[in-house]
Chains A and B, each alone.
Chain A
Amino acid sequence: MDIPRETRRAREINLTPLVDIILMLVIFFMISTSFVASESMELSLPSGKSDGAGADITRILVQPDGNVLLNRQPMNGGALSNHLAGMLAENPDAKIAIFTQPGVSVQQLVSVMDMVYLTGGRNVQVDKIDTPYEAAYGS
C-alpha cells in the first residue's frame, strides 16, 4: 500500500485578508480620530440676579478692539493681569464681574476669563450690556 507522504514544503499563510482588515482599521481610526484636546473651564453662576450695585466688585469691561476697561480705566492685557494679581494677593476671594458688549466675540470673552483664572481669580461672574458701556457703571 502506498501512503502519500505529507509534503514537507513550508506552507505559507495567506496574509491578504489580514492586510485588508488592518487597512480598514487604519482608515477607520484615521477618519474618526481627533487630535483637538478639548478642555473645560468651570464657571460659577451667582445664584441670584447679579447685584451690579455692590461697591466691592471689580468690573472688567471687554471691548471689541481687544482692550479692556478695569473699573473704567482702559488697559491692555498685561497691565490688567498685573493689576488683578496685586488685587487678588490681598483678597483672593474678590468678586470680579466681566461684562461684554455688542461686538465682542466669544473668544475675546474667554481670553479675558482665562486671564482672570490664570491670575488666580475664582469668584467670577459674566454679564452683558446691550447699550454703550457707560450703562454698566451706572452712577
Chain B
Amino acid sequence: MDLEFSRTTRKPRQVALISLIDVMFVLLLFFMIAGHLEQVSPVPVDLPIADSGQMLDEGPIKVTLGFNGDILINDARFMPGSVVGEIKRQLLNNPDRVITIKADANLEANQLVTLLENVRAAGGVNLSVVTQSGGGSY
C-alpha cells in the first residue's frame, strides 16, 4: 500500500513585521514629542519644587550647587573662593547676562544664600533659580 502524506512545506515562515514597526513608530513619536532632551549635569541635582516658576530660557551662565555642595559654573568645578572671580570674568563683556542657578533641594539654604551673596559681589543682577513644577505644598 502506498500512502502519500503531503509534506509540510519547508519554506521559512516570515514573521509579520508590520505590526512591530507600527508599535515602534508610535513609541518613537511619543518619546520625540512628549519628552525633551536635556543636557546631563555632571552633578546630580534634585531641583526644589515650586508653583510660581515660569518657563524661561537658560541663561548663558549656569551655576550649579550640587547635592554635596560642589559649585559648578558652566559644568566646570570651582572652589568656593574662586567663584566671585569666575563670575566676574563671565560678566566682563556684558554685565546683564542672565545667571541661572540650580541648587539641590536638600542643601542648607544658607549655602544658597552664600552663593547669592557671591554672585551679588561679582556684579550679577539678572538671576533666576531653577525649580520644577509638581504637587508642591506648603
User: Chain A residues in contact with chain B, CB under 8 A?
Assistant: 12, 15-16, 18-19, 22-23, 25-26, 29-30, 32-47, 62, 77, 100-115, 117-118, 126-128, 130
Contact = CB atoms under 8 A, between A and B. Distances in A.
Interface centre among A35, A41, A101, A105 (most CB of B within 10 A): A41
B78 interface: no
A28 B4 CA distance: 54
A33 B36 contact: yes
Contacts of B103: 106
Nearest to B123: A47
Interface residues of B: mostly helix, strand, loop or mixed? mixed
Interface of B: 14, 17-18, 20-21, 24-25, 27-28, 31-32, 34-38, 47-56, 58, 100-101, 103-114, 116, 119-120, 124-133, 136, 138
Contacts of B116: 43, 45, 126
B108 A102 contact: yes
A106 B105 contact: yes
B105 A42 contact: no
Nearest to B27: A26
Nearest to A23: B24
A132 to B, nearest CB: 13
A25 to B, nearest CB: 5
A30 B119 CA distance: 37
A45 B127 contact: yes
